[in-house]
Amino acid sequence: MELWLDAASSPNGVDTPYPADRVLLAAGDAIPAWTDDVLFACEDGRILDTSTKSVGVHVDIGDAEGQEAAKSLVGMVHWLVLTTGDWQMIPLENLVAATQGTGTHLAARIDQNNTARGAAFALQTGVDALLLPPDEPELWAEAQDIAAERLALLSKGVEDAFEEEETALVEVSVIGVEDGGNGDRVCIDLTSILEIGEGLLIGSSSSALALVHGETLESEFVPPRPFRVNAGAVHSYVQMADGSTKYLCELEAGDEVAVCDSSGGIRSATVGRLKIETRPFLIVRFRHSDSGIIGQTFLQQAETVRLVSPNGEMPSVTSISDDSRLLAMVGISARHIGQNVLSHAEER
């Protein structure tokens, strides 16, 4: 993490050396004799290097409009220099999540009214630079200590530990099926037909999503509903077509979900309708032996609700028991508002 000196905000400039990785000047300012690693802030928000090439943009994310403007630039600029308002941490966390893996870096403007530590460790990974004012020696000392902590964590591999996430379907073992009480259940009706073997990835934890089969199988008691997945309780996650997750209660008609088949193939399908009713639940708990990840999903206690086993069968939730084998997607990254982030979270 870099420490930047905000000389652009100093009316008289800064003419003494500072322990800064970069110095941000106002456009037209003379470069101090003690450094040549500078950037220039323009009145129109552009950030320029010494060759006048645009390398970033300054954005005030003090309101939702500013936050969305910053998000729209992700992947288009090398640096986003951010000024926060009364809400500091949530907008920074949202931008940290949005920029991970995109090539866009974040510099957060820090003063005595907001916390350097919060910005540096937002979602564990934090911003890429702190923009600090001159003539604040205590703030600089704190920022240097925080930067050393970040470097120590990086040397231990903490920031890289969550870089890879398992996305393929894996075999998991059922470790318990128990009464889940009554609650609000969501059926997801799609605008396209599901094939036998297809369903949605559903679970109480974003790191452990079970493949819940569509209502495509014939029975003597009810006709099939080949467009429907009886997905479970309103709090559950569902995998979206773009790789993010949503809570079932957040889904809307027109959303694109990820339809998964028993081989792990993914296609996109559109939500046409949601059907929410109070129903009795079973809790299905399962474990992935290789990673040790334990997950659970609340599913309606009904014979038509089925999962998928590694041998290609679609057992009903009412027929599975301890040591039954199912297909699920497991991973180790956390989520922030549905997006993968390179930090750790435990959900039980």
- Find the length of the chain: 348
DSSP string, 205-249: ETTEEEEEEPB-S--SSS--BTTEEEEEETT-EEEBTTS-EEEGG
- Domain range summary for the chain, segments of one domain joined by +: 2-155, 169-331
pTM recorded for the entire structure: 0.58
- Give Cα 168 to chain centroid, integer Å: 18
Are β-strands 105-109 and 169-190 bridged in parallel, bridged antiparallel, or unpaired? unpaired
Rounded Cα–Cα distance for residues 297 and 180 (Å): 10
Pick the CATH number of 169-331 from 2.170.16, 1.25.40, 1.10.3470, 2.50.20: 2.170.16
**Cβ(1)–Cβ(130) under 8 Å?**
yes
**Euclidean distance between the first and the last CA atom of the chain, given in angstroms as a whole number:** 32
Specify the amino acid at residue 21.
D
Give the tokens for residue 86: 């009364």
- Give Cα 206 to chain centroid, integer Å: 10
Helix 64-72 vs helix 89-99: crossing angle, to nearest 10:
20
pLDDT along the chain (348 residues), means of 10: 84 72 89 86 92 93 92 92 88 87 89 78 85 88 88 59 53 96 97 95 92 92 93 95 91 94 92 96 95 93 95 95 93 52 52
Q: Which fold has domain 2-155?
A: Rossmann fold (3.40.50)
> Can you give the pLDDT at residue 348?
58
